[in-house]
Amino acid sequence: MKKNYISISVSSKDLGKRIDLFISEKLDEFSRNKVQMLINNGNLTFNNEKITQTSIKLKKLGTLLLFIPELKPSKIIAQDLQLNIVYEDDYLIIINKNAGMVVHPATGNTDNTLVNALLHHCKENLSGIGGVKRPGVVHRIDKMTSGLLVFAKDDFTHNELSEQFKKKQTIREYDLLAWNQTPKQEGVIENRICRSKFNRKKMAITNQKDIGKTAITKYKLIKNYKINKYISISHIKCSLMTGRTHQIRVHMSHIGNPLIGDKKYSRNNYYTKLPDSLKKIVLNSFIMKERQALHAGKLGFFHPKKHKNMLFKSKMPLDINNLLSILKLY
């Protein structure tokens, strides 16, 4: 079977780390479980020696080769779903995703995803690095987040784009609406994020250096709207320096600015302090739909094949824009 591989250098600062943790930290597109599965199946070598144990620690310098088996025939159904295509060429495609659409199939969402739609639109022209369930997927945004995503049509483009994401060479800017005034006009949030030990469906900030992954978010307050003496709402722009699960949602909640509509990382009683007219809009458009007011509005990268910088922008969707229009009256 044909295989692709990813090369990872081990330096002196990496010594002592668990090999599965080290690889998952280096490769944002692979979860630790995915890395462990690949290792257990004999898809890892270190200095040309096969590694099959996930718990061993790095003890010397060298090069890891992680082999990615060729994509098996997909069992995912290609579906003729509407796609908002912002840009497309022979190597990649940019999609403006609507809130409510899942990026790729997973437990509980086996169809009606972006990948189902892309399999129909692109036919067989999607990279295989993401595996059977994630063909073409270079990065993701949450189901109830809207905005821009890039998908790769071949493995070279996929690897090159993934490397740019890993090296913080991309532009990923989000607009969001959050509760309360920000602690500063602008700032940088940097810490480690891991799975919550109390709820595995949530992420949490940890102070332990050997757990989780470093997460860095830049934020800038655009405007704070003082609704009344009890509550205010902030329009904030965030830029991702890393791409961890729920990163912006966790970080904004951490500094006291949970996103509107985000039940997972905020208290639900903020909206009760709103005037009735505004409360109704927030309830119906965001809280009841579990739609966090978060939009990936800007995406930039260097095109691996055309060798030029690409920058894409997406206007805020109707729900966020409508709420902003009302907030401007305050």
Beta-strand ranges (E) seen in 70-197 are 85-88, 92-97, 146-152, 171-179, 186-195
Contact 246, 266 (CB under 8 A): no
Residue 30 Cα distances to 38, 138, 177, 275, angstroms: 10, 10, 30, 45
Distance CA 99, CA 89 (A): 25
Q: What's the rounded Cα separation, in Å, for the pair 281 and 317? A: 15
Active site residue 319: no
Burial class (CB in 10 A: 0-12, 13-18, 19+), 181: middle
CB of 292 within 8 A of CB of 141? no
C-alpha 252, offset from chain centre: 15
Question: Which residue among 142, 154, 175, 262 is the active-site one?
Answer: 142
Sign of the CA dihedral with 189 first, then 203, 43, and 122 last: negative
Tell the burial category of 295 from Cβ atoms under 10 Å away from its Cβ (0-12, 13-18, 19+): buried
CB atoms within 10 A of CB 276: 6
Please state, in angstroms and rounded to a whole number, the distance separating the CA atoms of residues 263 and 292: 8
Catalytic residue IDs: 142
